[in-house]
């Protein structure tokens, strides 16, 4: 853990948001949560100093814009990408056993969180530097080679983007440490997906659809303009996508409420029999978040490499081909136009979803061994079994591992189908939206219960 400890030591010099001395009232926490999301949306519209008057080079990054909250040329050029990418790198290293850490121990957890903060800032500086060196923010129509700005402007842009990432870290710490409710990063994703849904449904943005032909991007705007319901449109929101959006949200909401029950008894209380519910979506929405971030990062890395080495370099071409085949198609027409890409996309997302599902189960304390230890510590046991962790682990593995496979493939499969049918907000965006909103509702209900019954706060040590 030498490297992680070094990164954690550096994080001590990075300012952080402390926990409140006393828990603020629920309305105050809701207000802080709303203010944080509003400030994030404002930051995504503030242009960087030094890029005004120039046109920014932009690759096709619809997925990155929704999941990572990127807006090229603004303070949110990097979005939440550096923060979540740092988390993914460390979690894969720990979950894969390359770094030996027990995240259930407070000391290891503290080192992990500190290393993640430092690594996020390092990623922000590296990504910002790649954008600046590749002259991604400064494109003129005057012709000629080279970059039209000097080193000083580039350093200024890098500093702005690194500081913007630090602000997002403060926002997340403020919400997580008790000033708000839930996770700021999750709410940022919700805000981006909802914004994308609104634009795809009714955005009156003109887009070229042919020679001297212009159409509106939003499906409802198109219907109002032309009177045509646009059952299918190539690369643009259509009626099939609208129906798919409603259907996917309903299916996801149904699966969120499904449970798998394991019978247990409690010898401490006269062998009372009860059942422990496990979420049918056992891996929650984390695997699809990881998959979406990995695919989005490929687009980000392509744009950075293309800016540095040129789009014709071998690395840039390789990343462009890779992104083409693993990025979601935009509707049925685009999926049918390139069946090879669609098949590779489906297989890649299912396999990645399964991989990240097992990684998440191991590092999030959801493995059979961790669940068996939790049951033993709480005084519970399975009927007919001795209070033995290994025996309990074997029995729980028969439930948990199949549930991990099924839920990982199910979540990835729903996201894939949503993208193929052109659902608004992308398939991964809808999966994240429903999961995050449901978790926020549960957190809000929990906080409301504590407000109504102060005795519970003392019992659970809040």
Buried b (16+ CB within 10 A) or exposed e, 106-122: eebeebbbbbbbbbbbe
Angle 358-361-37 (CA atoms, 0-180°, nearest 5)?
110
213: three-class secondary structure by DSSP: strand
List the chain residues with pLDDT less than 70: 1, 53-62, 95-97, 103-104, 139-146, 264-275, 307, 378-388, 453-462
Q: Could you check whether 1-17+27-181 and 238-461 share the same CATH topology?
A: yes
Contacts of 128 (CB under 8 A, 6+ apart): 77, 78, 157, 158, 161, 162
Judged by phi (left if over 0) then psi (alpha if -120 to 50, else beta), residue 165 lies in: alpha
Fold of 238-461: Preprotein translocase SecY subunit (1.10.3370)
Sign of CA dihedral 246, 251, 254, 255: negative
User: 259: which strand partners?
Assistant: 279
Q: What is the pTM of this model?
A: 0.84
Nearest in space to 165 (alpha carbons), one of 81, 91, 228:
81
What dotted CATH number matches 1-17+27-181?
1.10.3370.10
Nearest in space to 71 (alpha carbons), one of 159, 142, 137:
137
Structure tokens at 178: 């008790």
The whole-number pLDDT of residue 141 equals 47
Burial class (CB in 10 A: 0-12, 13-18, 19+), 91: buried
Angle 327-200-422 (CA atoms, 0-180°, nearest 5)?
45
Structure tokens at 175: 């919400």
Distance CA 159, CA 153 (A): 10
Is there a contact between 119 and 111 (Cβ–Cβ < 8 Å)?
A: no
Quote the longest CA-to-CA distance of the chain. Answer: 84
Note the Cα 360 to chain centre separation in Å. 14
Distance CA 159, CA 156 (A): 5
Is there a contact between 67 and 293 (Cβ–Cβ < 8 Å)?
A: yes
User: 213: which strand partners?
Assistant: 210
Distance CA 425, CA 218 (A): 12
The whole-number pLDDT of residue 33 equals 93
Structure tokens at 433: 């939206």
Contacts of 446 (CB under 8 A, 6+ apart): none
Locate the domains of the chain by residue range: 1-17+27-181, 238-461
The whole-number pLDDT of residue 268 equals 53
Structure tokens at 5: 């400890």
């Amino acid at each position: 853990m030498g490297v992680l400890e070094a990164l954690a030591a550096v994080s001590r010099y990075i300012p952080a948001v402390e926990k409140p001395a006393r828990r603020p009232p629920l309305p105050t926490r809701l207000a802080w949560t709303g203010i944080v999301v509003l400030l994030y949306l404002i930051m995504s519209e503030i242009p960087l100093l030094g890029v005004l008057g120039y046109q920014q080079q932009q690759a096709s990054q619809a997925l990155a814009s929704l999941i990572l909250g990127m807006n090229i040329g603004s303070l949110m050029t990097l979005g939440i990408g550096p923060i979540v990418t740092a988390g993914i790198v460390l979690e894969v290293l720990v979950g894969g056993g390359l770094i030996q850490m027990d995240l259930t121990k407070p000391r290891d957890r503290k080192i992990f969180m500190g290393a993640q903060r430092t690594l996020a800032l390092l990623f922000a500086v590296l990504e910002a530097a790649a954008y600046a060196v590749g002259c991604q923010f400064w494109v003129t129509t005057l012709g000629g080679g080279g970059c039209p700005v000097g080193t000083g402007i580039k350093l200024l842009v890098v500093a702005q983007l690194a500081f913007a990432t630090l602000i997002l870290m403060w926002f997340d710490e403020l919400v997580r440490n008790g000033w708000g409710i839930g996770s700021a990063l999750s709410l940022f994703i919700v805000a981006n997906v909802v914004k994308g849904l609104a634009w795809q449904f009714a955005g009156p943005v003109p887009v070229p659809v042919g020679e001297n032909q212009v159409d509106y991007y939003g499906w409802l705007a198109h219907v109002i303009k032309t009177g045509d319901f646009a059952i299918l449109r190539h690369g643009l929101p259509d009626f099939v996508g609208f129906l798919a959006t409603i259907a996917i949200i309903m299916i996801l909401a149904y699966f969120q409420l499904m449970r798998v029950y394991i019978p247990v008894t409690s010898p401490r209380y006269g062998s009372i029999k009860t059942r422990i519910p496990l979420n049918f979506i056992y891996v929650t929405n984390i695997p699809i978040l990881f998959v979406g971030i990995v695919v989005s990062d490929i687009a980000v890395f392509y744009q950075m490499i293309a800016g540095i080495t040129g789009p014709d370099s071998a690395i840039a071409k390789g990343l462009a081909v890779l992104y083409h085949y693993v990025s979601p198609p935009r509707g049925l027409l685009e999926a049918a136009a390139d069946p090879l890409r669609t098949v590779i996309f489906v297989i890649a997302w299912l396999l990645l979803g399964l991989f990240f599902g097992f990684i998440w189960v191991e590092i999030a304390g959801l493995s059979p061994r961790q669940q068996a230890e939790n049951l033993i510590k709480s005084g519970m046991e399975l009927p007919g079994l001795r209070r033995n962790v290994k025996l309990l682990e074997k029995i729980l593995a028969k439930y948990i591992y199949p549930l991990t496979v099924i839920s990982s493939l199910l979540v990835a499969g729903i996201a894939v189908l949503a993208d193929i049918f052109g659902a608004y907000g992308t398939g991964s965006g809808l999966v994240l939206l429903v999961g995050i909103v449901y978790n926020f509702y549960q957190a809000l209900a929990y906080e409301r219960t504590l407000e109504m019954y102060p005795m519970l706060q003392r019992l659970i040590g809040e």
